[in-house]
Amino acid sequence: MKRFYKAAGVGETEGGFRVELDGRPVRSPAKAPLVFPSRPLAQGVADEWAEQGDQIDAHSMPLMQLSSTAVDLIPAKRPDIVQAISAYAGTDLLCYRAEHPQPLVDRQAQLWQPLLDWAALTYDAPLHVCAGLMPKPQPEEALAALRRVVERTDDWYLSALQTTTGVCGSIIVALALLEGRIGAEEAFEVSQLDETYQIEQWGEDAEATKRRANVRAEIVACRRFVDLLRG
């Protein structure tokens, strides 16, 4: 789409804030009003619009994408999205450890176990760890506790949680990131640990480099989205 405005800014509206292009409010792709809960988030989205060139590149506007998801998709499909996110707890990345080589085993224990311990203490949701790829049933009480965490989030937070969980392959990493237990770079390191180890042994091709850059960018965007959401 060709750029059709000169300036992007933030204005107040009933219930929160809005992004304005030449004074006109931005709407979601489904044409719904975009009412932002916090001014910092609205400003972050306005900055994305302001930074566009002659052509608008939606992929360069992650805050706008997450905001649109919160307004258009989450309310319409909330039960399904809650279920999809919660289901990650049953097969969470952090629970499946390598049997060898020992350096990878040690690294997984060093980086992954503290996050599982944090989740157990924070959410009363202790998850079992196993070696190998065969699924191991998790305690129903822990699964229910993590589902309650997901259920009580608002639509805006849930938008970021959905993306982060999918990108990281772990609801524990996603919650740790969005709750400030770890930063974006650590979330990337933790979720990409196995692949990083393989790259250290065998090298990295161009496709993997590009994919990992996209993963890092999504993680960074989701953390920034939640930080701005909280003002």
Q: What is the mean pLDDT of each run of 10 residues along the chain (231 residues)?
A: 96 97 97 97 98 96 98 98 98 95 96 98 97 87 98 98 98 98 98 96 91 97 98 89
In angstroms, the first-to-last Cα distance of the chain is 31
Single pTM value for the model: 0.95
For residues 26 and 53, is the Cβ–Cβ distance under 8 A?
A: no
For residues 95 and 136, is the Cβ–Cβ distance under 8 A?
A: yes
Count of positions (residues) in the chain: 231
For residues 225 and 66, is the Cβ–Cβ distance under 8 A?
A: yes
Tokens representing residue 146 in the block:
């993590």
Amino acid 175 reads L
For residues 202 and 11, is the Cβ–Cβ distance under 8 A?
A: no
